[in-house]
Amino acid sequence: MRGRDRLTSLEICAGAGGLAMGLEAAGFDPTALIERNQHACATLRANRFGWRVLEMDLLDFVAHEHADTHDVDLLSAGLPRLRYQASAEQKQRRYEQALLEATVWLAAEVLPRAILIENVPALVEAEEFAQIRAFVHTELEHLGYVLHWNVLNAKHFGLAQDRKMGALVAMRQGKTGDFRWPEPLRTPIPTVGAVLWKSMAARGWRGATSWAARADRPAPAIVGGSENRGGADLGPTGSKKAWARLGVNGASVGDRVPDADFVWDPNGKPQDLPKLTVEQVAILQGFPPQWSLSGGKTARYRQLGHASPPPVARALGERIFDALG
């Protein structure tokens, strides 16, 4: 049973607020949210007037200058995705790793009762990141934390998206109860067609029903949150091919859903298939329709590509809340 109605958190690399939104639903109120992207900061301020948003790089944050961030119940971090050495530019790769290290150093200053870090599954599983995991273990265990690693999939938590997520939950000994991972929902996994049919038909497209029948499986992972990528598209070549099998042109993001005159050939060229809008991508990421994203199309899409799906964040937050309560 929960002993307190609400708990406190410090959110870093907050992005568009997917992680914070899910944790809020689980019972956590952020004392501050740190994010360097101006569009993401505008999104956070537009949707939660009471949230204190610090527009700055995590590497420039000094905890002792913000006394209200000390001794929070939870330090949560949706960090930029770590990438393999062979596929990432060296300078950007060093920066991503520096953010993870800064999160660990921040935990030593803030001493939260619990820590949640969400990142790529490879952080949990891959030999490539064994040295980073060893660093995290050494530093956090020295501070008295017990570490739990796992890989979760968004499709098991009500989303029409096959999105694997690596998660670290660290609980401070003597300050928390036992932590248990959330279990997958015992409901059918939604399909892209089922969740997007209504929006695809919103402008009278007569092919929406046939399209929805073709889009009969979860989407590939939403990617493209990096500021170093080009315009808004649904990912690299492999992802675009997966989207084409669902009847979606993944080469770019559309401004509108198809109208009544849109003609499509299910077996035609990928560039002739309908495109998803930013609003439809938000649905696949589990964002509620009332959550407003700031900036132009590319800026709004990047916020979603970086985001943690709120339903998964809520499931994790509820288990952390129970261990802290």
So what CATH class is 7-184+308-324?
Answer: alpha beta
User: Considering only CA atoms, which of 301, 255, 251 is closest in space to residue 281?
Assistant: 301
User: Considering only CA atoms, which of 217, 235, 215 is closest in space to residue 225?
Assistant: 235
Mean pLDDT in residue range 10-18: 97
User: Considering only CA atoms, which of 287, 221, 228, 226 is closest in space to residue 250?
Assistant: 221
The 10s digit of each residue's pLDDT in 142-174 is 999 999 999 999 999 999 999 999 999 999 998
Mean pLDDT of the chain, nearest integer: 93
d(CA 171, CA 185): 24
Q: Where are the domains of the chain?
A: 7-184+308-324, 192-303
> Quick one: three-class SS letters along the chain?
CCCCCCEEEEEECCCCCHHHHHHHHHCEEEEEEEECCHHHHHHHHHHCCCCCEEECCHHHCCHHHCHHHCCCCEEEEECCCCCCHHHCCHHHHHHHHHHHHHHHHHHHHHCCCEEEEEECCHHHHCHHHHHHHHHHHHHHHHCCEEEEEEEEEHHHHCCCEECEEEEEEEEECCCCCCCCCCCCCCCCCCCHHHHHHHHHCCCECCCHHHHHHHCCCCEECCCCCCCCCCCCCCCCHHHHHHHHHCCCCCCCCECCCCECCCCCCCCCCHHHCCCCEHHHHHHHCCCCCCCCCCCCHHHHHHHHHHCCCHHHHHHHHHHHHHHHC
pLDDT band for position 1 (cuts 50, 70, 90): very low
The 10s digit of each residue's pLDDT in 50-74 is 999 999 999 999 998 998 888 899 9
Lowest mean pLDDT among 101-105, 204-208, 230-234: 230-234
In this predicted structure, the answer to whether residue 2 has a pLDDT above a threshold of 50 is no
d(CA 277, CA 130): 38
Q: What pLDDT shows up at residue 152?
A: 98
d(CA 11, CA 23): 10
Phi, psi of 186 (to 5 degrees): -95, 55
d(CA 245, CA 94): 36
Phi, psi of 169 (to 5 degrees): -120, 125
